A and B are shown apart, each in its own frame.
Chain A
Amino acid sequence: MKKRTIALLSAAIMTFSMAACGGNTGATTTTTSSSSSSSSSSSSAASSSSSSSSASTDTGAGSADTGAAAASGELIRVGIINNDPNESGYRTANVKDLQDMFKPENGYDAQFAYSLKNDEQIQAAQGFITDEVDYLLLSAADTAGWDGVLKDAQAAGIKVILFDRTIDADPSLYEASIVSDMAKEGETAVNWLAGQGLDEYNVIHIQGVMGSAAQQGRSGALDAKAAAEANWNIVEQQTAEWNAEKAQQIVQSVIDSKTPFNVIYAENDDMAKGAVAALDAAGISHGVGKDVIVMGFDCNKWALEELLAQNWNYDGQCNPFQASYIDQIIKTLESGATIDEKTIIMDEKGFDAETITQQDVDDYGI
């Protein structure tokens, strides 16, 4: 009895979250038109993923179909290879999203394998190929070394879909690749900042681990803008390696040196939090309409709440919710249609403290 209740409950939650997902993708265009602040980036996102947004409407219908499929017992078998869920909050959300999607209730029979090591991932992939799954979903730990195993998959008639991370392999070896565009995340954020219309931008730029895709993408846009505009100065550029404590010390050192600044551009939420702790200790006001603009990335739930409280100004999304995209691609392939665009870039939003709502926090917080 109890088990059954839980099953029902989880199914209910699942459909709710699915509806939310579908709703989000569909809603993107509408938010875009209403919020001028994130217009430039979001509209481009909307145009690039116009197919997906139109497809999103039939996700709801699709779920009904898959429900029927589940009843008839023809489950689609997928093998999912991902990184360790403990890696980060982003990954935890990503794993949960996939687990919620690829369930028998949705017509899937899924197996999961988690590892931060490429060789273990490849081993898992070979296991899935031997098991003759229908689809192989892959977020690779390393970009290299996947050719052989993907050829094996192709020979066995298994379709491969990459998510979250791309790999160095011939595009003919996979059906689609669903990724975030880190450079665009940076651009969206910088454009938003430019839209604030300050007379002078004195930015403390706190970087992530140097060389990581997220750092390179998010730094690139700011570097370019600072080089191009005369009134944009980067007063401090340091890596805090995603570490809040280091960020706190870096900002503290700028405060101690009495260098004026009015923007904190931290490449993730943790570092923004550390920076804010330093501001608080020194009595420097921050947030909407205050002395210092605080910007973060990743859309942690607690970070979005800071936005809602107007303590921070901006938070850029790094979308971990790829499951609905993958679902659509599988549906399309199953229906016999082909995918036009191999690389699918996910919708990623930037949230402004002035326009964010509790609904956004609930929907996008990870």
Chain B
Amino acid sequence: MKFDIKKLLSNQLVIPFAAIIILCLVNLGYDIVKDASFFSIEVVTNNSGNSVFSGPLITILDYGSELAILAIGMTLVTAASGGQDISVGATIAIAGSAMLRVLCGGNTRPEVLATPIIVGFLVACIVGMLCGAFNGMLVAIFRIQPMIATLILFTAGRSIAAWINNNELPIVPDPKFAYFGSFIPGVPIPTTVFIAAACIITAALLLKFTNLGLYTQAVGINESSSRLNGINPTAIKFISFIILGLCVAVAALIKVSRLSTINYSVIAKDIEMDAILAVALGGNALSGGKFNLWASILGAYIIQFLTTTLYRFKVDSAALPAYKAIVVILLVVFSSPVVRQKMQQFSSSRAAAKKEVA
């Protein structure tokens, strides 16, 4: 079997997989030096009396879920509009706040839920989609640069979230609500993993049984040409923002459920940047066009992998953004045309050298 370096290098998944391998090796090295075990998964009994899995890998899967879900929507928005939504964190606050408002019925410390959880979640979905529709309208219809358009909710979103609940911080009394961010009794795997899996499967079905992927890429690559082929670019961009809005609502459910309450100013803080980074890590062009959803999702888990690894190494958490910045720099450099060309030249010259030797 022939090993084609050139083809491998051109594959989009090469960057995320390389990142995973590097992170695994780094952790393995740490394990050997410190006699720790990164890859072990244990069964422990949590404080609700359930037997659950525990370990760094479970932590990555658990905490990476919100980001993976957001990466789905962010990838579509990026592909269709050639820009990014930076209001994701703020709209999570809005959707979460709306959900709490409905669940607690405007009461800060209710004894019982005012409405079933599903109603609260549906309201969050509607609110998330409304926020997406607002952004989508600005981008698709008024043709405002996505970053500028979403700057509006980025700035105002957290105040809106606080206003929805009168600046109170309601606490959900029902322990069932906490299941979404932790464990369902009798199930040893974090619920977030199932939620993320459900979202990923839905996205996969959407891509398989509709032309969303083809349309989105066509619009992102050449809007004018897509229009002449009967595609409605405005609608496609709008839909991508609506889908991101739904992802936001699901992420909000997890985020709020983790603590059964909300803090408007810090919930999902800076998550938009991580979501954008996930898209970039997946090797997707931030200028839109062709995309690979699976690479973005992988990118999301890699970011959590990186975070977990850094915590493990007791790196100062205030320094985390600096490490992410290094990743961004490496990514940008490696995907720049100059380096790509050099790498291709290198691999082809090596191939030529091999031939000569042979």
Residues of A within 8 A of B (CB): 85-89, 92, 210, 236, 238-246, 248-250, 252-253, 255-258, 270, 273-274, 277, 279-285, 300-302
Q: Which 8 A-B pairs have the closest CB atoms?
A: A253-B311, A280-B47, A243-B266, A283-B46, A238-B317, A283-B44, A283-B45, A256-B56
Residues of B within 8 A of A302 (CB): 109, 169, 171, 261
Q: Let me know if B308 and A281 touch, CB within 8 A.
A: no
Q: Let me know if B169 and A89 touch, CB within 8 A.
A: yes
**Cβ contact of B258, chosen from A236, A238, A277, cutoff 8 A:** A277
Q: Let me know if A242 and B266 touch, CB within 8 A.
A: yes
- Given the interface contacts A239-B316, A241-B266, A244-B259, does A258 sit within 8 Å of B63 by beta carbon? no
Residues of A within 8 A of B311 (CB): 238, 249-250, 252-253
Q: Taking each of B63, B264, B317, which has the highest tally of chain A beta carbons within 10 Å of its own beta carbon? A: B317
Residues of B within 8 A of A279 (CB): 47
- Which residue of the partner chain A has the closest CB to B190? A281
Residues of A within 8 A of B63 (CB): 249, 252
B267 within 8 A of A: yes
Residues of A within 8 A of B312 (CB): 253, 256-257
Residues of A within 8 A of B159 (CB): 86
B59 within 8 A of A: yes
Shortest distance from the beta carbon of B238 to any chain A beta carbon, whole Å: 31
Residues of A within 8 A of B314 (CB): 236
Residues of B within 8 A of A236 (CB): 314
Q: How many residue pairs at the A-B interface have CB separations less than 8 Å?
A: 101
Q: Let me know if A210 and B52 touch, CB within 8 A.
A: no
- Which residue of the partner chain A has the closest CB to B57? A256
- Which residue of the partner chain B has the closest CB to A210? B318
B350 within 8 A of A: no
B48 within 8 A of A: yes
Q: How far is the CA of A279 from the CA of B268 in the complex (A)?
A: 21
Q: Let me know if B308 and A253 touch, CB within 8 A.
A: yes
Chain B positions 151-198 with a Cβ under 8 Å from a chain A Cβ: 159, 162, 167, 169, 171, 181-183
Shortest distance from the beta carbon of B252 to any chain A beta carbon, whole Å: 13
Residues of A within 8 A of B171 (CB): 302
Q: Let me know if B54 and A282 touch, CB within 8 A.
A: yes
Q: 25 A-B pairs, CB-CB below 8 angstroms?
A: A85-B167, A87-B265, A238-B316, A239-B318, A240-B317, A244-B259, A245-B259, A245-B268, A246-B317, A252-B59, A253-B59, A253-B311, A253-B312, A256-B312, A257-B312, A274-B259, A277-B182, A280-B182, A281-B47, A282-B44, A283-B45, A283-B47, A284-B47, A285-B47, A302-B171
**Cβ contact of B167, chosen from A86, A240, A249, cutoff 8 A:** A86
Contacts A281-B54, A283-B47 known; 6 new A-B pairs at CB < 8 A: A240-B317, A252-B311, A256-B55, A280-B47, A281-B46, A285-B47
Residues of B within 8 A of A87 (CB): 265
**Cβ contact of A245, chosen from B44, B45, B52, B255, cutoff 8 A:** B255
Residues of B within 8 A of A (CB): 36, 44-48, 52, 54-56, 59, 63, 109, 159, 162, 167, 169, 171, 181-183, 255, 258-259, 261, 263-269, 307-308, 311-312, 314, 316-318
Tell me if A's interface is mostly helix, strand, loop or mixed: helix
Q: How far is the CA of A243 from the CA of B265 in the complex (A)?
A: 9
Q: Taking each of B162, B258, B308, which has the highest tally of chain A beta carbons within 10 Å of its own beta carbon? A: B258
Q: Let me know if B318 and A280 touch, CB within 8 A.
A: no
Residues of B within 8 A of A86 (CB): 159, 162, 167, 264
- Which residue of the partner chain A has the closest CB to B166? A92
Q: Let me know if B266 and A244 touch, CB within 8 A.
A: yes
Q: How far is the CA of A125 from the CA of B63 in the complex (A)?
A: 47
Q: Let me know if B46 and A282 touch, CB within 8 A.
A: yes
- Given the interface contacts A86-B167, A238-B316, does A258 sit within 8 Å of B54 by beta carbon? no
Residues of B within 8 A of A258 (CB): 36
Residues of A within 8 A of B183 (CB): 281
Q: How far is the CA of A273 from the CA of B258 in the complex (A)?
A: 10
Q: Let me know if A256 and B59 touch, CB within 8 A.
A: yes
- Which residue of the partner chain A has the closest CB to B162? A86
Q: How far is the CA of A86 from the CA of B165 in the complex (A)?
A: 11
Q: How far is the CA of A243 from the CA of B268 in the complex (A)?
A: 9
**Cβ contact of A270, chosen from B47, B167, B263, cutoff 8 A:** B263
Shortest distance from the beta carbon of B241 to any chain A beta carbon, whole Å: 25
Shortest distance from the beta carbon of A87 to any chain B beta carbon, whole Å: 8
Q: Let me know if A255 and B307 touch, CB within 8 A.
A: no
Q: Let me know if B59 and A270 touch, CB within 8 A.
A: no
Shortest distance from the beta carbon of B307 to any chain A beta carbon, whole Å: 7
Residues of B within 8 A of A246 (CB): 317
Shortest distance from the beta carbon of A311 to any chain B beta carbon, whole Å: 10
Residues of A within 8 A of B269 (CB): 241, 243
Q: Let me know if B182 and A281 touch, CB within 8 A.
A: yes
Shortest distance from the beta carbon of B341 to any chain A beta carbon, whole Å: 40
- Which residue of the partner chain B has the closest CB to A88? B265
Residues of B within 8 A of A243 (CB): 263, 266, 269
Q: Taking each of A253, A270, A280, which has the highest tally of chain B beta carbons within 10 Å of its own beta carbon? A: A253
Residues of B within 8 A of A92 (CB): 167
**Cβ contact of A244, chosen from B52, B54, B263, B316, cutoff 8 A:** B263
Q: How far is the CA of A85 from the CA of B167 in the complex (A)?
A: 9
Q: Let me know if A281 and B52 touch, CB within 8 A.
A: yes
Q: How far is the CA of A279 from the CA of B316 in the complex (A)?
A: 21
Q: Let me know if A280 and B266 touch, CB within 8 A.
A: no
- Which residue of the partner chain A has the closest CB to B63? A249
Q: Let me know if A250 and B45 touch, CB within 8 A.
A: no
Residues of A within 8 A of B265 (CB): 87-88
**Cβ contact of A248, chosen from B167, B258, B261, cutoff 8 A:** B258
Q: How far is the CA of A284 from the CA of B268 in the complex (A)?
A: 26
Q: Let me know if B48 and A280 touch, CB within 8 A.
A: yes
- Which residue of the partner chain B has the closest CB to A206? B317
Residues of A within 8 A of B268 (CB): 245
Q: Let me know if B54 and A255 touch, CB within 8 A.
A: yes
Residues of A within 8 A of B308 (CB): 249, 253, 256
Q: How far is the CA of A71 from the CA of B267 in the complex (A)?
A: 48
Q: How far is the CA of A283 from the CA of B49 in the complex (A)?
A: 8
Residues of B within 8 A of A85 (CB): 167
Q: How far is the CA of A243 from the CA of B56 in the complex (A)?
A: 21
Residues of A within 8 A of B55 (CB): 256
Residues of B within 8 A of A283 (CB): 44-47, 52, 54
Q: How far is the CA of A248 from the CA of B266 in the complex (A)?
A: 13
Q: How far is the CA of A269 from the CA of B63 in the complex (A)?
A: 21
